Chain A
Amino acid sequence: MGMTAIEKALASRGGCASVRPGDVVEPIPDAIMIHDNVVIGAKQELDSIGIDRIAAPEKVIMVSDHEVLYGSLGAARMGAFNRAAAAQWGVEQFYDVGRGGHGHLFPIERGIVVPGMMYFDNDRHATNAGAVGAFGLRMGAEISRVLATGTNWVIVPKSIRLDVSGAPGFGVYPRDIGFFLAKQFAPGGRFACDLDYMALEFAGATDQFSMAARVALCSSPTEMGAYSVFFPPSAAIIDYAQVRAKRPFTPIYADDDAEYEARLSIDLSEIEPQVVRPGHVSRAIDVSEVAGTRVDHAFIGSCASGMWDDMVVTAEVLRGKRIAPHVRMFIAPGTEDSTKRAIREGLMEIFVEAGAVMLPAGCGPCNEGVVGPLDGGEVSISTATANLPGKFGNKDAKLYLGSPATVAASAIAGKIVDARAAAPRRSEAAP
């Protein structure tokens, strides 16, 4: 019996010939990623025990992405603590404020995360690694054990295979597909399948997805509980990585006779642009059902929609337009490289002329609203990963989600609109 992609990754890093769902393994990761907001917790925990060194500082990638603009003295203190921690631990791969951007994006762009790679990360959205056929496994607060010992226990998850067919229609973007899928994985959805702690493998007509599309598609399944999301790397993904790879890599593909908990399928041509209603990412609905809802706040960015392609789509909608007078709009390119490119290629001018506020590469408001929060009763539409009450600060704010095109068009209109009608664009832009 063959293995699924994640089974192969965990078997090889765990030193086993094969693994099965439910097996407990202690894989040796290729890298260990820790984000700015949890360094204090991990460091203080280790310090309190007297653990004054970490197992493999050369593997550790520290990123400052959750709180990039120090909007408080507490954040400044956190930044100072993190710099001292990196120095004491001997972490040289330290992408501090202004040096890399979002830790779930720039390592993919720069070839730090490459096909077949497996790493531990404190943060659940490390599932983005699946965009290039890699495996970023979330450890939460237990990242401290990974830092101290070099590994931690993992229960091999079950895998689900999702075969895609068809192509999305004009104006339907990867986030629309993700929201639609989230609804189908929720109770009452057509898949009748709980994604909790599942490894979701996309299969079928996946070669049509660019790297940015794959990144966007990793997000919503993660919000539905998936522990890993995986795309078999296409020739284009392999070519991209070969030029930039910072380490040798061997792509992983699932065996043809791998065993899946479920095999599902979806025809992309049936999906309309989606808007997610406040409360949970699975509350997706066709945009026409909520069109006209007034918005006060718009945000484009996050680890789900912060790739270069997302900035291009946003610029196409905003070009030559002004956002509505009552709307404040924030745009956070996912990476410093995208910010520089946006300046070179004129996107930054489009954004600023439209009236948007530019944020530094990183999480933006998506991290608990540490920048650009809402007041109670205000309404936001954004490309954030999730929209639980309080995600952008005040729990009485209403948080809608949409694709970058829907969010940008809605910011211009001052209300939720179907971007296809509001701002027709080149049809080749999607996805």
Chain B
Amino acid sequence: MSENIWVTRGRCHKFGDNVPHGGGIVPGWVLAGRVVEAEKIIPHLFEDIAPGFHERCKRGDIIVAGKNFGMSPKMNGFVAMQALGLGLICESMPFLAYRAAVGVGLRVMSACEGVTAICETGDDIEIDYRRGLFINHTRNIERAFPPIPESLRELIEVGGNTGWLKRWWATRNNTEPEASDAPASS
């Protein structure tokens, strides 16, 4: 696995505290309808609070959020973020939401206290997820936050739960796994 999936650079998209999963990250019907396909969710990512988000974001961009991001253990919106090649860092999120994000292979750092105070939407941001390094090139600010723990990196590298199962199954059957769902480097 190449090293550089752990370092990304892109634009900042900043959100506040208590962004709910339904009605915030994705419209409520995505959850009620149990929509889990990335291509169906992407056009509606942040639709209720940041219309047109999916057209503005680019691979490597960083979602920066405040406290209690997602407010629930839902995973649907994280599927779209992972497929778009985005990263997520937030001041806090419920642990089960964090687990859900890791479970779909999203690069995510939680417990980044004060991060929303040192960036604005549009800033040029670089993140090293393995070292927990946050660099705001626009404002010349560098901060260290808790990195992605080593024990969870493997899961993200293989593309989350599905990727992990693919590799597990292939190993069991001594065959080569098909193309990985791992996040592409940027």
Contacts and interface: CB of A to CB of B under 8 A. Distances in A.
A267 to B, nearest CB: 29
Nearest to B20: A388
A148 B165 CA distance: 8
A124 B73 contact: yes
A126 B165 CA distance: 24
Interface string B143-174: 00000000100000000011011101100000
Contacts of B94: 196-197, 225
Contacts of B164: 145
Interface in A125-148: 138, 140-142, 144-145, 148
B151 A24 contact: yes
Interface residues of B, number: 25
Contact of B100 (A37, A140, A227): A140
Contacts of A24: 151
A38 B36 CA distance: 11
B73 A138 contact: yes
B106 to A, nearest CB: 13
Interface string B110-133: 000000000000000000000000
A197 B165 contact: no
A196 B69 CA distance: 13
A267 B69 CA distance: 33
B95 A227 contact: yes
Contacts of A41: 34, 36
Contact of B73 (A140, A144, A145, A390): A140
A140 B101 CA distance: 11
Contacts of A349: none
Interface stretch (A43-51, A107-115, A303-311, A320-328): A43-51
B44 to A, nearest CB: 15
A190 to B, nearest CB: 20
A45 B159 CA distance: 13
A340 interface: no
B96 interface: yes
A144 B31 CA distance: 19
A395 B23 contact: yes
B95 A390 contact: no
A196 B95 contact: yes
Interface string A356-372: 00000000000011000
B184 interface: no
B5 interface: no
Contacts of A141: 36, 75, 100, 103, 161
Given A45-B162, A46-B165, A141-B103, A197 B23 contact: no
B169 A389 contact: no
A227 B75 CA distance: 17
Interface in B63-83: 72-73, 75
Given A49-B162, A124-B96, A390-B28, A140 B75 contact: yes
A148 B73 contact: no
Given A51-B169, A148-B165, A395-B28, A142 B95 contact: no
B23 to A, nearest CB: 6
The 8 A-B pairs at the shortest CB distance, nearest first, are namely A197-B95, A390-B28, A368-B32, A142-B161, A49-B166, A142-B103, A49-B169, A196-B94
29 contacts: A38-B34, A41-B34, A45-B161, A45-B162, A46-B165, A49-B165, A140-B103, A141-B36, A141-B100, A141-B161, A142-B103, A144-B161, A144-B165, A145-B161, A149-B168, A153-B151, A155-B95, A196-B94, A197-B94, A227-B95, A368-B31, A368-B32, A369-B32, A388-B20, A389-B23, A390-B22, A390-B32, A395-B23, A395-B28
Given A46-B165, A49-B169, A225-B96, 19 more contacts: A41-B36, A45-B161, A45-B165, A49-B165, A49-B166, A51-B165, A124-B73, A140-B75, A140-B99, A141-B100, A141-B161, A144-B165, A145-B164, A145-B165, A148-B169, A227-B95, A368-B32, A388-B22, A389-B28
